[in-house]
Amino acid sequence: MGLDDRKLAVLRAIVEDYVSTQEPVGSKALVERHQLGVSPATVRNDMAVLEEEGYIRQPHTSAGRVPTDRGYRLFVDRLSRVKPLSPAERRAIERFLVGAVDLDDVVHRTVRLLAQLTRQVAVVQYPSLARSSVRHLELVPISTTRLMLVMIADTGRVEQRLVELPGPVPADDVTDLRRLVNEKLAGARLSDTPPLVQALVEDAPPTLRPAMTTLSTVLLETLVERHEERIALAGTANLTRGGLLDFQGSLRPILEALEEEVVLLKLIGETEPSTTRVLIGDENEFDNLRAASVVSTGYGPGATIVGGLGVLGPTRMDYPGNIAMVRAVARYVGELLAQN
Amino acid sequence: MGLDDRKLAVLRAIVEDYVSTQEPVGSKALVERHQLGVSPATVRNDMAVLEEEGYIRQPHTSAGRVPTDRGYRLFVDRLSRVKPLSPAERRAIERFLVGAVDLDDVVHRTVRLLAQLTRQVAVVQYPSLARSSVRHLELVPISTTRLMLVMIADTGRVEQRLVELPGPVPADDVTDLRRLVNEKLAGARLSDTPPLVQALVEDAPPTLRPAMTTLSTVLLETLVERHEERIALAGTANLTRGGLLDFQGSLRPILEALEEEVVLLKLIGETEPSTTRVLIGDENEFDNLRAASVVSTGYGPGATIVGGLGVLGPTRMDYPGNIAMVRAVARYVGELLAQN
DNA sequence: GACTGGCACTCGTTACAGTCGAGTGCCAGG
DNA sequence: CCTGGCACTCGACTGTAACGAGTGCCAGTC
C-alpha cells in the first residue's frame, strides 16, 4: 500500500497550506495554489487514500482535510526541505547574542531570541552540571559554624550551598579545607566526583575530618545526586496566537506543563544523539502536551553537548523553519560558550 | 452625596457575590443571600445611586450589576474585613518552606506556595542587590588574562561576572587584589560602594593599578549601576481559571506583561511603605494589565525590606484572602531569611 | 420621608427552522 | 488512470420567536 510521489506531494501541500492558513484545505484550493498538474477529482482520490492510511483527517464531513500527527511525522521525516535562514534572521541572531556578560545573560538572551525568531515558546536548559567540570571551589565563612560553598563550573555555572558545620572551625582550617578540595576536585567532571570526594574524607587530617565529612555530604547530595538542572523559558504569549483554535480552546494544560521543570527537561534535555529531535503531538509522554509539538537539540562548545534547547508550539507549526532556527541558535550559542 | 451604611453594605454584598459567583448580581439574589433587611426594590434604588457614583455598572440593560475598579477600591479601603488564614493554610506555609537549601530554593518554593495558596499568578523578587551588603568577593583565575568575579551578598545572593584583564596577571597579584577588595568592600552596602571602589583604584599599588581599574569598572557597571534584579514567577496556569470571562477573552497582553521583568519589578518592587499595596485595574501604569489587579508587599529579615512579592489576577479576585496570604507568606519568608 | 409591591419594559440568551455553499464520494466516459 | 459531472452531507450563517432575569418607576403604606 505504498504512497506514490503524487500522493506525497499532496500531503506536503496539505501540510504547508494548513500551517500557513490554519484552515482545513480542500481539493479545489489545493490544485489552485500548487502545480500538481491534475484535477481536483484526482486529488480527492489521493486524499481518500491518505485518510485511509491515517495521514490526514476531516474535522467534519463537509470540511477540508487536516494533517494528523502521523501526517506531520511523515512530512518532517521525508517531505520537508531544509529552509535556509534569511540574512535578516542571521543578523538578528548575531546581534542578539553579542555583549552577554555572564551565563545567565547568555541563557536569557538565547531564550528570548529563540522565542522571537520562531514565535513559539522557547526553552533553554542551563549547561548541565553533570556534564560540567569543577573549575574552582570556594569556601566563604559566614560564621564560625557556617560556610558558604561556592562551586564554579567550567561551563560558567556557579552554584552555592550553605554548609552547617558540626562545630566551630577556625579560619586557618577553612583555608586548609579550601586547598584540599581544590587540589582533589578542580578539573574533575562532576559525574566523576563521588570516589574523589570519598577519598577526600578518608585522607583528611583528623582535625579537619568532621568538617570535611559534612562538606562532602553537601557536595554529593546537593550537587551530584540531585543534579541541579535549571531552565529558562520565554514566549508563552505566543501560545495565544492562532486564537483558540490550537490547543482545543484551553491553554491551561500547556501552561501547567510549562511550569514543571521536570517536564521541560524531559522534552529538551534528552540529548543522546547530537541531531535535532522533533516530537509531534502525542509522541511525547505527557497528556497535557498532546496538542503540542517540540523541536529540540543539544548545544555545547565544540562537539560536546552540555545542555538542550528548543521550542514548543501547536502541532500545526512551521517545522522546517523551526528546525532551522533551533539548529542555528544552538550552533551560535555553542560558539559563544567555546570562547570562554 | 454621602453613601449611608446600607448602600455600603449593598456594595460589599455585590463585590462578595460577584467574586464568588463570577456573574452579575441582581437585586433579588442579593436580598436572598444577605441579611439586608429590606426589599429588592429598595436595593434597586441603592444600586441606582451606587451606579451613578461609579462604583458599579451594568454590562447590559437586562443584567445584574458588576463592581467597577472604583467599587473594588472602596471595598478594599473601607469594606473588607481581614480574613484570618485557616490552620490548614498556616500549616501549608510552614511545610512548604522548611528544608530550603539555598536562596534559589527559598525563592522558588515561595513563589510556588503563593501561587498555590492564592490560585493566582505569584511573583517574588529576589533580595535586591541595592539593599544588600557585600559579604565576600572572590576572584577565580580562568586564564592569565581572565578572572571570574564572584560576589556573595549577605542576603544570600551570589552574582558572578567575567572580567577581561588588560594584560596577564600572576597568581600572587590575584591574591593581593582579592585581599584589597575584600578589606575595602566587605560589609559595605552595595549602594554605598561607588566611592569605596573609587578609593580602591586610587590606593592600589602601581603594578595592580590596571587590573584594579578594569575590576572596578565591572563591579560598578554590572553590579551597582544596572542593579541586577531577579524575579521568579509561578502559577500562570491560574490565569485560565474562570474561562475567558476575565481578561476579556485574551490572555495575550497579560502573558506579554509577565515576560517583562521591568514590568514585574514596577508592580511588586516598589516597596516604599512597609504596608501591603493593592493596585486595582487601571491603577497600574501598564495598558496590558488594565484588566488585572496586583496585591504586593515587601519582605525581609526583621524590619528591613530587601525585596517584594505579590500576586496578580483578575480584578475580580478575593482581595481580603489574597492580602492575608501575601502578608503571611512575606512574614514567613522574612523569618526564614533572618535565620541565615 | 423612607420603604415596598406591582407592573411594564428592555434586552441578552436560547431554540428552531431555513438557506447557503464548501467539500466530498462516486460513477461513467475518455 | 485521470477527469467532469452530480447528488449528497453538514457546518456556518440568518432570521424569528419565545423566554426570563433584571430593571426603573409609580402609587400606596407605615
pLDDT in tens, A16-65: 999 999 999 999 989 988 988 888 999 999 999 999 999 999 988 888 89
When pLDDT is averaged across residues A171-186 and rounded to a whole number, the result is: 92
Q: Read off the C-alpha cell for A312.
A: 514548543
Whether the CB of A175 is below 8 Å from some CB of chain B: the reply is no
pLDDT tops 90 at residue B234: yes
pLDDT in tens, A150-161: 898 988 888 888
Cβ contact (<8 Å) for A259 and B142?
A: no
pLDDT tops 50 at residue A66: yes
Query: Which candidate in A240, A263, A286 is best for mutational testing of the B interface (most B CBs within 10 A)?
Result: A240
Nearest by Cα to B233 from B256, B261, B270, B272:
B261
Is the pLDDT higher at B134 or at B247?
B134
When pLDDT is averaged across residues B45-68 and rounded to a whole number, the result is: 92
When pLDDT is averaged across residues B286-311 and rounded to a whole number, the result is: 93
pLDDT tops 80 at residue A249: no
Q: How many Å does it take to go from CA B107 to C1' C8?
A: 61
Give me the amino acid identity at B63.
A
Which residue bears the cell 542571521?
A90
The confidence score (pLDDT) of residue B62 equals 84
Which residue bears the cell 566563604?
A140
The confidence score (pLDDT) of residue B233 equals 97
A30: the nucleotide nearest its CA (via C1') is: C23
Whether the CB of B235 is below 8 Å from some CB of chain A: the reply is yes
Whether the CB of B85 is below 8 Å from some CB of chain A: the reply is no
Whether the CB of B259 is below 8 Å from some CB of chain A: the reply is yes
B150 vs A158, A222, A244: nearest CB: A158
- Can you tell me the distance from the alpha carbon of B319 to that of B16, in angstroms, rounded to the nearest whole number? 10
Phi-psi region of A242 (alpha: psi -120 to 50; beta: other; left: phi over 0): left
Confidence of residue A256 (pLDDT cuts 50, 70, 90): very high
- Can you tell me the distance from the alpha carbon of B340 to that of B336, in angstroms, rounded to the nearest whole number? 7
Is the pLDDT higher at B75 or at A5?
B75
The confidence score (pLDDT) of residue A271 equals 63
Nearest by Cα to A78 from A240, A238, A254, A278:
A278
Query: Which candidate in B126, B255, B264 is best for mutational testing of the A interface (most A CBs within 10 A)?
Result: B255
The confidence score (pLDDT) of residue A273 equals 62
Whether the CB of A101 is below 8 Å from some CB of chain B: the reply is yes
B140 vs A101, A152, A235: nearest CB: A152
B255 vs A136, A162, A236: nearest CB: A236
- Can you tell me the distance from the alpha carbon of A303 to that of A110, in angstroms, rounded to the nearest whole number? 19
When pLDDT is averaged across residues A136-145 and rounded to a whole number, the result is: 88
When pLDDT is averaged across residues B180-206 and rounded to a whole number, the result is: 90
Q: How many Å does it take to go from CA A18 to C1' D14?
A: 29
Strands B307-314 and B121-125: antiparallel
Residue of B nearest to A182 (CA): B140
**A191-205, B74-88, B132-146, B211-225: range with lowest mean pLDDT:** B211-225
CA distances from A288 to A4, A138, A235, A250, A253 (A): 36, 42, 18, 11, 5
Query: Using a CB-CB distance cutoff of 8 angstroms, which residues of chain A are in contact with residue B226?
Result: none
Any idea what the Cα angle at residue A153 is, between residues A151 and A159, rounded to 5°?
40
When pLDDT is averaged across residues A108-119 and rounded to a whole number, the result is: 96
Any idea what the Cα angle at residue B224 is, between residues B223 and B225, rounded to 5°?
110
pLDDT in tens, A271-302: 666 689 999 999 999 999 999 999 999 999 98
Whether the CB of B135 is below 8 Å from some CB of chain A: the reply is yes
B256 vs A140, A237, A244: nearest CB: A237
DSSP letter at B98 equals T
Is the pLDDT higher at A215 or at B102?
A215
Strand D nearby residues, CB < 7 A: A 6, 37-42, 45, 60-63; B 24-29, 40-41, 44, 47-48, 51, 58, 61-65
When pLDDT is averaged across residues B150-172 and rounded to a whole number, the result is: 88
Interface list for B 262-321 with A (CB within 8 A)? none
B161 vs A102, A140, A161: nearest CB: A102
B251 vs A136, A162, A240: nearest CB: A240
Min Cα distance A233 → chain B (Å) is 9
Residue of B nearest to A105 (CA): B161
Q: Read off the C-alpha cell for B117.
A: 495558596
**A181-190, A239-248, B138-147: range with lowest mean pLDDT:** A239-248
3-state secondary structure at position B217: helix
When pLDDT is averaged across residues B303-328 and rounded to a whole number, the result is: 95
Confidence of residue A179 (pLDDT cuts 50, 70, 90): very high
B152 vs A150, A235, A258: nearest CB: A150
Cβ contact (<8 Å) for B234 and A259?
A: yes
Whether the CB of A336 is below 8 Å from some CB of chain B: the reply is no
Whether the CB of A160 is below 8 Å from some CB of chain B: the reply is yes
pTM for this one? 0.91
Cβ contact (<8 Å) for A162 and B255?
A: no
When pLDDT is averaged across residues B48-61 and rounded to a whole number, the result is: 92
Cβ contact (<8 Å) for A252 and B235?
A: no
Q: Taking the C1' atom of D8, which residue's CA lies nearest?
A: A62
pLDDT in tens, A70-105: 999 999 999 888 889 999 999 999 888 887 878 888
The confidence score (pLDDT) of residue B1 equals 46
pLDDT tops 90 at residue B339: no
- Can you tell me the distance from the alpha carbon of B284 to that of B69, in angstroms, rounded to the nearest whole number? 11
Residue A20: CB atoms within 10 A of its CB come to 12
Q: Where are the alpha helices (DSSP H) in chain A?
A: 5-21, 27-33, 40-52, 69-74, 87-97, 103-118, 171-185, 193-203, 209-218, 252-258, 261-268, 319-339
Whether the CB of B236 is below 8 Å from some CB of chain A: the reply is yes
pLDDT tops 90 at residue A320: yes
Which bases along strand D come within 7 Å of a protein CB atom? 2-5, 9-11, 20-26
- Can you tell me the distance from the alpha carbon of A95 to that of A87, in angstroms, rounded to the nearest whole number? 12
Which bases along strand C come within 7 Å of a protein CB atom? 3-6, 10-12, 21-27
Which residue bears the cell 494544560?
A253
pLDDT in tens, A192-223: 888 999 899 999 999 999 999 999 998 888 77
Cβ contact (<8 Å) for A140 and B135?
A: yes
Whether the CB of B250 is below 8 Å from some CB of chain A: the reply is yes
B42: the nucleotide nearest its CA (via C1') is: C3
Whether the CB of A63 is below 8 Å from some CB of chain B: the reply is no
Whether the CB of A158 is below 8 Å from some CB of chain B: the reply is yes
| A152-156, B25-29, B109-113 — most confident range | B109-113
The answer to whether the beta carbons of residues A89 and A95 sit under 8 Å apart is: no
Confidence of residue A227 (pLDDT cuts 50, 70, 90): low
- Can you tell me the distance from the alpha carbon of B203 to that of B329, in angstroms, rounded to the nearest whole number? 46
Query: Which candidate in B103, B114, B224, B251 is best for mutational testing of the A interface (most A CBs within 10 A)?
Result: B251
Query: Using a CB-CB distance cutoff of 8 angstroms, which residues of chain A are in contact with residue B101?
Result: 161-162, 222
